[in-house]
Each structure stands twice: as structure tokens, then as C-alpha cells.
Chain A
Amino acid sequence: DAGVIQSPRHEVTEMGQEVTLRCKPISGHNSLFWYRQTMMRGLELLIYFNNNVPIDDSGMPEDRFSAKMPNASFSTLKIQPSEPRDSAVYFCASSSGAAGQETQYFGPGTRLLVL
């Protein structure tokens, strides 16, 4: 099992540019989570999907952020336009979503730097 795959691993961009982060969850998992980690705020949940449907996007900081999950094996997190305060590590995680105590499995993260 390849685990959760994220790309790119590192992204450096200039303020105002569009940034797209990609995630491939573990095959068979039906819940997908996008997190952001910063020194100031720790690990924050941005949005999560269940069966490709967004369930809770209350953590999305503002309209510049959007996330999609067109199918069970792919999700994107887009920031448009990007700002320096968006600089952080963005993690994608997936879980089986089975009733009970499912565990979330994290990808390696995308380190984003907005100049």
C-alpha cells in the first residue's frame, strides 16, 4: 500500500498566484481530510469529504480556498490568489470511514511558501 500521496512536496510561489495541492487517498478509504499546520495555530482541519462529498468546510479560512474531490482517488486544494500568510504545511489524510474508531492516515504534506 503506497499510503496517502501528496504533490507537490514543496511549492514556492509569489503572492497573487494560484496554488493547487493534490492528494491521492489510500485505496478503499472513503473519508478525506485537508489540514494545515503552522507554528502559530498548530494542526487545523480545513475540510473533510465523505464519499467524495464535502461534509464540513467550516475550517476553510476564506473564499480564496477551495477544495474538490471529483472521484474517490483524487482531491485538490486550491488557493487563489495566494498570500504570504498562507505559507504552511498542508496535509491530506484519509480514513476508511467505517463505523467505529477509524484512524486517519496522513500524507507527507506539501510545504508551501508564498513570497
Chain B
Amino acid sequence: DQQVKQNSPSLSVQEGRISILNCDYTNSMFDYFLWYKKYPAEGPTFLISISSIKDKNEDGRFTVFLNKSAKHLSLHIVPSQPGDSAVYFCAARRDSNYQLIWGAGTKLIIKP
């Protein structure tokens, strides 16, 4: 049972435009969501997170939106840069449970 789904295996965006990565979840008990970025031959690195008590969190070019009623979150990157080309993982966690549930990842390709 995939509790966290990233339905787009890959996404190609022109440099300078907005990249939107999507993530859906099924467990309404999740209360904290994270986005990680992974370059080849490296471990995932934390990018941005959001608590379920919020619907938006912004950090520079990165903004995460949470729609709890739709059980959907999205990561917006604007403007997209070549260095943003990576695999992006969405992860979710329940309160008092350390285990993160991970999506399958979306490969973002920024075209020059």
C-alpha cells in the first residue's frame, strides 16, 4: 500500500520557468511533510518541510503548499535553475513516529 505517491516519474522544465512537483498521500494521520533532493551518487538532502497546521511554507525559491482536504502537497521552484536538476522525494511522517514514508521520487530536468 503506497501511502505517499509521486505519480510523475520525471518532469522537464525550461530554465527560468516554474517547476511544480506533486505528491499525494492517503494517510490522514500524517502531520509533517518533507521534500528531499537527491543528486546522482549522493544521499538525499533535506530541502523544505511543512507541518499540517500550515498550508504554505516558503524558503527562497522553494515553496511547499499543503492541501489537507485533498491530501496533496506540491513543491514549487521558481525560477528553476540548472542546478535544480535532481530527483525530488516527498516524505511524510506521523506524530511521535520517527519513520518517514517516502514517495518514489520525481526526476526534475531543467533545460537550458
Contacts and interface: CB of A to CB of B under 8 A. Distances in A.
A91 B98 contact: no
A101 interface: yes
A56 B99 CA distance: 9
A34 interface: no
Interface residues of B, number: 20
Nearest to B100: A104
Interface string B82-112: 0000000100010000111011110000000
Contacts of A106: 36, 43-45
Main secondary structure of the interface of B (DSSP, over half): strand
> How many of chain A's residues touch chain B, expressed as a range?
20 to 34
Interface string A56-75: 10000000000000000000
A97 B44 contact: no
A91 B44 contact: yes
A48 to B, nearest CB: 6
A97 B99 CA distance: 11
B74 interface: no
Given A42-B104, A48-B98, A103 B34 contact: yes
A19 to B, nearest CB: 19
A109 B40 CA distance: 11
Contact of A91 (B43, B93, B103, B105): B43
Main secondary structure of the interface of A (DSSP, over half): strand
A93 B43 contact: yes
A107 B100 CA distance: 16
Nearest to A103: B46
B102 A108 contact: no
Interface in B4-51: 32, 34, 36, 41-46, 49, 51
Interface of A: 4, 31, 42-43, 45, 48, 50, 55-56, 91, 93, 95, 97, 101-109, 111
Given A42-B105, A97-B98, 7 more contacts: A50-B98, A55-B98, A101-B51, A106-B44, A106-B45, A108-B43, A109-B41
10 contacts: A42-B104, A45-B102, A50-B98, A93-B43, A101-B32, A101-B49, A101-B93, A102-B98, A106-B43, A111-B41
